Structure formats: C-alpha cells, structure tokens
C-alpha cells in the first residue's frame, strides 16, 4: 500500500510535469525592439529596422496570447443573441471555405451613432463587429467626443472601460456634458421658435431625468484584459469603449502596459472578440511626438477604421479626419466646435471660418476648398516682410510647408516676383489643416496681395491647383465649389479654364472667371 501510494504520487508529479512541458512548448519566446517594435527569433545587438543598439528585449508570448478569453467572451455573446455580421458562421468550429458567388453582398445595417459628423466620417455609421481606433493629441477632446456620443445612444447598452480615469471623474464629466447638450438643444429650439428666453431649467437629457439618461452606460475601471472579458460576459453590452488601448495589458505577456508587445496582443484579442461576437469596439489611442499613433504600426492594420481628432487647443474648432476605413471613404471630414458644455457639430463651416469684415486688409484670399464631399470656403492669410536676418523665414500653419516653398518658387520663376530676401508667413484661418490642392491659387494670391500691400476686393474667391510651369490645373467637384460660393454671397469666382465646361453656367448668378495661367488670375484680381 505504501509503495502504491508512492507510485501514485510519482505518477501525479510526472503528469503535472508533462502538462507543464506541454504548456511551455506552446509558449513562444520572442525578442522585440523596444524602440520600433521589430521582432526577431533570436537576440541581436543592433536593430535592423531603426539601427539602435541593445534595444531587443526577451518576451514570452503564450500560444493564445490572451485570445482564449476573447474567444470565450465572443462566443458567449454570439450564442446569447448578439447580432453578428457574419450570420453566425464566424467561429473556429464552423469556419470553412466558401465560394465567392455564395457570399451575400447585402450590408448589415449601420449603427447610428446619433452624431451626423461622426456618422459621415465612419461612412454612414458604425459596422457591427468592427473596431474603430480614435487617436489624437492629449487634451484635444477624444474622451469628450466618445462619452458625448454614447450618452446620446440611449437605445444601446454600452460598456465604458477606463484605464485612466476613476468612475467619479467620468460621472462628473458625463453630468457636465449632459447638461451642456441639453442647453444647446434648448437654445436651438428657442431660436427656431423665435424665443430668446434662457433655458437654464433644461434637463440634462431633454425630457428624461439624469438617472434615466445614464441607465444604458456601465462604467468599468480595469486594465487587465482577462478581467475585462469576464465583465463583458456579465454585462452583455452592445457597444464597448476602451479608454485607452495603451493602458490595457494581458497577463500572458511579460511587459508593462503600453509597450509594443502589450498593445499588439491586446488589440489582436479585441479584434478576435469583435469578429466572433459581432459587437463593435471603439479604442481610444494616444499619439507620439511625431503625431502618429503610439504603439506598433500593426495596430493601425489590425483595426477596421482609424479616425484622428485634430485641432489646436487654443482654437475652438476640432477636425475629425478619417485615416483608414474599410467600410467607406477615407476623405471624409467632420468639424466640431469646442464649447464649455461639450462639442457642437458644425453643419456649415464656411460661415464660421470666414472673417466678417476684412475690407482694406492685404494678404487675405478666400478659397473654395473641399474636404471629402463637403465644400467650404476658407480664409487664407499671408504676410510678406523684409527678412531681418540673412536667411529668410518660411512658415506655414495649416498648410504643407514644402508645397508653400514650391509655390513661392513658381511665383518667382514664372511670374517674376522676387521673394528670396523676404520672410513669408502663411496661415489657414480657424486652426484648420487643409490638404486640398485647389488651395494653391489662393495661397499665391494672398502672398502677392501682402507683397504689394494691395487688398483683394470683397466678393472674390478662387480655386485651382498650380503646376510647376505656372499653369492652373483643373480641380474636382467644381460645381459644388461654385454653388457654395454663390450661397455665401460671393459675386466672382476664379476657376481653372479646363473646368469651364461640362456644366450649365446659366443656373449660377455668380460671375465665373476661367484662367489658364497664374498671371491671368492676378490680372483678374489686381488689374
């Protein structure tokens, strides 16, 4: 009996040892560069990607890498009745090859985010089972935008996971945003009704009480990924917000939260959960000093949509720009105005971006720009002065610096204005960053206006891309630009000559001036 007991103990220990060996065999040892995220199967002294020395760190990655918890939570949600964009066919057990002709092309209905600007940037709303990454500078309003959005989605259960703020801080912000949004709605309703009475007694959520307005939101202050998936199974949300992805860590990776390996593994697990369950996930991410999203580049490849919140903290306007979108266009743009009570959607940015009265001021030109499918008129300001030092300065705010240098070279070579000994400062009014090439003509007009100290008459606007030979190249969506300029009361618009056909001129009251070269545009403006 004693011998059998000993044998039993030995067998038990050998089984345990064998299980540990099997677990260890499943684990993967990798070496990751702490500077750029380059992965290697063995340790090397110099990183072949970034060229830094002694940056490779040894990490242990489990076979599942935290995805087992994601799979379990996803399958629980799917079998619990959650909608899935794959018709219940996306799981490890029933995945199989399918003929392309047998796959349905009918899109799943988009999730209305109750925000017109956000819906436009997302391509019509959020797709079920998708992951959206929202990035931006610190303090720009990422958390404010997300919390304000989910406060209005009272028809959907939301789980807000915060790794940066306490539950008390989130509640204070939610109270402030709810009250501010209620005052905005009351103000709009009063202006529409012609009543200028104050709306100080408005409820934070319209007609509903504050408690009822917050019933659909569950707050979780947790940073461990496995515990988050456990709470997801208990709450059964229809939308998940992670604030932020750099604070989440899985216990399967031996590194600190925010490291390249942690961000990569946590994002992969969340992706598996979203695709398995059909529940959309919003990730809030930070950016580094270069302006790109912090973490490995693969983070942007993993997610379905990448949107960036831009703007200057000293200005009131914020730009929501789509960087990547698997379900829509990447050229869409959303504009918000930061107010004390939260973010206000700007439906007509042209009226807010234009100065009311700039008559008699030189160096100001109005351009008909388009970002995405939205036309708006933007004010271009330029200042040309004599260089105080030997090397002239070239500065651009909201415009590409290299393109400004190219345009100045075109003006000097093709038009004959000498700017080599002068400082040139360019600013796009309102704190916007505009990438439309049709801004070229207004930039040159503003620079020339400031150089000769001659203002451009009111009622003139322009659009056109400028080539290296001084020609004015055609631009897209010319009719939308003309219609927007006419709607805002402009009497003259300068367009490229190649855009002066293909549309009915009689339906526009604004006078159209087609030009072929930059010199012709200058003659129209300055005589």
| H or E, element range at 131 | strand 131-136
* 67-90+110-347 shares its CATH topology with 351-526: no
pLDDT for res 45: 86
Q: Which pLDDT score is estimated for 21?
A: 40
Please indicate whether residue 46 or residue 68 has the higher confidence score (pLDDT): 46
Tell me which CATH homologous superfamily contains domain 67-90+110-347: P-loop containing nucleotide triphosphate hydrolases (3.40.50.300)
- pTM comes to 0.71
CATH number for region 351-526: 3.30.230.10
> Which tens digit of pLDDT belongs to each residue from 198-229?
444 444 444 555 566 788 999 999 999 999 99
Of residues 412, 445, 439, 414, the one with CA closest to residue 524: 445
**Mean pLDDT, rounded, for 448-455:** 93
Tens of pLDDT, residue by residue over 412-433, are 998 888 888 899 999 998 777 8
Q: Where are the beta strands (DSSP E) in 178-266?
A: 217-221, 239-243
Is pLDDT of 48 > 90?
Answer: no
Beta strands in 152-252 (DSSP E): 158-162, 217-221, 239-243
pLDDT exceeds 60 at position 381: yes
pLDDT tens track for 96-111: 888 888 887 777 789 9
Q: Where are the domains of the chain?
A: 2-61, 67-90+110-347, 351-526
Q: What pLDDT is stored for residue 468 in this prediction?
A: 93
Residue 14 has pLDDT above 50, yes or no: no
- 269-273, 297-301, 466-470: range with lowest mean pLDDT: 297-301
Q: Roughly how many angstroms between the first and final C-alpha of the chain, as a whole number?
A: 114
Give residue 54's pLDDT: 84
In angstroms, rounded to a whole number, what is the distance separating the alpha carbons of residues 274 and 497? 50
Q: Residue 251 — pLDDT band, cuts 50, 70, 90?
A: confident
- DSSP output for 356-374: S--TT-SSEEEEEEEETTE
């Amino acid at each position: 009996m004693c011998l059998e007991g000993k044998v039993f103990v030995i067998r038990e220990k050998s089984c345990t040892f064998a299980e540990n060996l099997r677990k260890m065999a499943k684990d993967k040892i990798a070496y990751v560069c702490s500077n750029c995220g380059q992965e290697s199967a063995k340790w090397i002294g110099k990183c072949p990607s970034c060229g830094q020395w002694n940056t490779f760190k040894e990490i242990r990655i489990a076979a599942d890498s935290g995805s087992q918890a994601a799979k379990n939570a996803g399958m629980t949600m799917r079998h619990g009745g959650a909608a899935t964009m794959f018709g219940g066919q996306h799981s490890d057990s029933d995945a199989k090859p399918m003929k392309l002709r047998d796959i349905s092309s009918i899109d799943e209905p988009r999730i209305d985010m109750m925000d017109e600007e956000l819906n436009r940037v997302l391509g019509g709303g959020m797709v079920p089972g998708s992951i959206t990454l929202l990035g931006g500078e610190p303090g720009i309003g990422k958390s404010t935008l997300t919390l304000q959005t989910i406060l209005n989605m009272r028809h959907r259960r939301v789980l807000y996971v915060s790794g940066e703020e306490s539950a008390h801080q989130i509640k204070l912000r939610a109270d402030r945003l709810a009250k501010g949004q209620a005052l905005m709605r009351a103000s709009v309703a009063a202006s529409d009704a012609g009543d200028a009475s104050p709306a100080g007694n408005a409820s934070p959520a319209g007609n509903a009480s504050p408690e009822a307005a917050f019933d659909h939101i569950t707050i979780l202050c947790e940073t461990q990924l496995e515990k988050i998936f456990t709470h997801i199974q208990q709450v059964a949300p229809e939308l998940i917000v992670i604030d932020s992805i750099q604070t989440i860590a899985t216990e399967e990776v031996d590194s600190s939260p925010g490291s390249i390996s942690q961000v990569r593994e946590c994002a992969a697990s969340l992706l598996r959960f979203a695709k398995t369950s059909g529940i959309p996930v919003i990730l809030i991410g930070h950016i580094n000093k270069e302006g790109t999203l912090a973490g490995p580049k693969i983070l942007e490849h993993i997610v379905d949509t990448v949107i960036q919140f831009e703007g200057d903290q000293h200005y009131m306007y914020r730009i929501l720009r789509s960087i990547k979108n698997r379900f829509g266009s990447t050229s869409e743009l959303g504009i918000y105005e930061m107010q004390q009570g939260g973010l206000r959607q700007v439906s007509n940015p042209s009226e807010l971006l234009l100065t009311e009265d700039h008559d008699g001021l030189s160096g100001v030109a109005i351009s008909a720009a388009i970002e995405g499918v939205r036309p708006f008129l933007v004010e271009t300001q330029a200042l040309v002065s004599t260089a105080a030092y030997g090397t002239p300065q070239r500065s651009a705010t909201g415009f590409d610096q290299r393109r400004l240098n190219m345009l100045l070279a075109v003006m000097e070579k093709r038009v004959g204005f000498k700017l080599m000994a002068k400082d040139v400062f360019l600013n796009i009014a309102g704190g916007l960053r505009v990438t439309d090439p049709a801004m070229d003509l207004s930039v040159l007009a503003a620079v020339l206006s400031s150089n000769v100290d001659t203002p451009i008459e009111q009622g003139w606007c322009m659009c056109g891309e400028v080539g290296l030979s001084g020609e004015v190249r055609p631009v897209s969506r010319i009719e939308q630009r003309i219609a927007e300029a006419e709607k805002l009361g402009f009497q003259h618009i300068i367009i490229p000559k190649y855009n002066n056909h293909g549309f009915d001129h009689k339906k526009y009251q604004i006078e159209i001036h087609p030009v072929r070269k930059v010199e012709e545009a200058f003659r129209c403006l300055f005589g």
